[in-house]
Amino acid sequence: MAKADKTMNEIVALCKRRGFIFQSSEIYGGINALWDMGPLGVEMKKNIKDFWWKSIVQMRPDVEGLDSSILMHPKIWEASGHIENFTDPLIECRNCHKRFRADDIKGKNCPNCGSDQLTEPRMFNLMFKTFIGPLESVENTIYLRPETAQGIYIDYQNVLMATRQKIPFGIAQIGKAFRNEISPGNFIFRSREFEQMEMQYFVHPDDANKWFEYWREMRWQWYIQLGIDEEKIHWHRHGENELAHYARNAYDIEFDFPFGRKELEGVHNRGDFDLSRHQQYSNKNLEYTDKITGEKFIPFIIETSGGVDRGMLAILSDAYTVEPEPKNPSKMRVVLKMHPRISPIKVGVFPLVKKDNMPKVASEIARELRKKFTVFYDEKDSIGRRYRRQDEAGTPFCVTVDGQTFDDDTVTIRERDTLVQVRVKIDEIAPMINKYIENWKKNKGISLS
């Protein structure tokens, strides 16, 4: 097995074992390209989304939040160009009946069975359809949104009016999107139901290039703050024939996944495409009026569009480390060295042994720490095993109550990456953890003291 496949298999197995990600509908044999977030996955994903929301909405006076509906008026998808353009060329093998995207086929043979009995490509729309109301008719057909962006465009005037923002300003949204992908795969990289974190920034047309560069820089820096290794991310500029139907200019932030360099997030200059089209299809005036100059214009839109699930997979694969145990180098430990800000559990709390009142004191410490952090209390198995379980979950700190705790109110704190252990007073645990999370730098091994 190739090394990349082995690494991916190990990551998938760890995600199941530790409760990050499960295959959807597993007891019914599973369903392709749909995934469930387990107890750790849901915490980790929430941490990614919270960090995005904090940096894009909470910290910025010029960006507002929105949560628009998933099902929307079907005309939106005519206006947006999705009914006409959101298609992939589909080729089917007449021999094994597998289906492929045309660009996944190199040469003239089926990648699955080798047959040359391939159909001509036919265009396949990626939007999921359903019906609104009891009648399953053409007029009642609606779509599960394939991107969150359109909900923002159609609410842009409502947000403007309610918030009294002035251009330039942005609207941000996190939510589910659905695509009936022909060739999904690579775990959660390409699935049929996923989450997007999108921000649409409305600007004067003359300023679009300036803001496009600004948002490229902001998004790059965000991934660094997320703890992703800067050497593993790259810019890819879309060539003329790659640009989506709405884009004037587009760059992807790509990440070196175990299965290759692939898109993580897109930054697009969408020009006035979306608002002009919605103005045309809705017959509503969507111009912006500058209150000072009186100028009326359709704003240009700079979009940043990231996948939460892809971000999660990038962090997991960046963090996944197999290394010799320092005290016993013939044994390997598996550890997720992710930014503690993103770690699903922040602190493991253990009694060294299950006697001498240690469980009682450790439980009390866990109860106090839960007010501030996600905590996992564990008293089963040897202390070494408990540490290793938390390493695999990416837990940055383990607090252990031992005999000395009863003498001087101290515990040991063990740090995940460096394995440094220090003794601290019980009431110093929380401030120390907070300080460490703020100052964490990848591979820097900051001392706990």
Name the segment binding ligand GAP (CB under 6 A); options: 35-43, 190-198, 289-297, 339-347: 190-198
Q: Tell me: does residue 271 bind ligand GAP (CB under 6 A).
A: no
- How many residues lie near ligand GAP (CB under 6 A)? 19
> Tokens in use for 439?
């100052």
Tell the smallest beta-carbon distance from residue 319 to ligand GAP (Å).
18
Residue whose CB is less far from ligand GAP, 180 or 412: 180
Cα separation, 13 vs 6, whole angstroms: 10
Residue whose CB is less far from ligand GAP, 309 or 391: 309
CA–CA distances in Å: residue 1 to residues 5, 6, 9, 60, 128: 7, 6, 10, 47, 36
Exactly one of 125, 173, 191, 269 binds ligand GAP (CB under 6 A); that residue is 191
Contacts of 229 (CB under 8 A, 6+ apart): 318, 442
Q: Tell me: does residue 269 bind ligand GAP (CB under 6 A).
A: no
Residue whose CB is less far from ligand GAP, 304 or 343: 304
The CA dihedral of 104, 105, 110, 113, to the nearest 10 degrees, is -50
CB of 164 closer than 8 Å to CB of 184: no
What residues from 376 to 435 belong to the interface with ligand GAP (CB under 6 A)? none
ω before 168 within 30° of 0 (cis)? yes
For 378, the 3-state DSSP assignment is: coil
Name the segment binding ligand GAP (CB under 6 A); options: 136-144, 220-228, 261-269, 416-424: 261-269
CA atoms within 13 Å, Cβ hemisphere of 356: 10
Exactly one of 305, 390, 395, 400 binds ligand GAP (CB under 6 A); that residue is 305
> Tokens in use for 337?
């060295």
Name the DSSP letter for residue 184: -
Residue whose CB is less far from ligand GAP, 274 or 402: 274
CB of 305 closer than 8 Å to CB of 170: no
Q: Tell me: does residue 179 bind ligand GAP (CB under 6 A).
A: yes
Name the segment binding ligand GAP (CB under 6 A); options: 187-195, 228-236, 412-420, 438-446: 187-195
Where do contacts with ligand GAP occur on this chain (CB under 6 A)?
147, 149, 179, 181, 190-191, 194, 196, 198, 263-266, 303, 305-307, 309-310
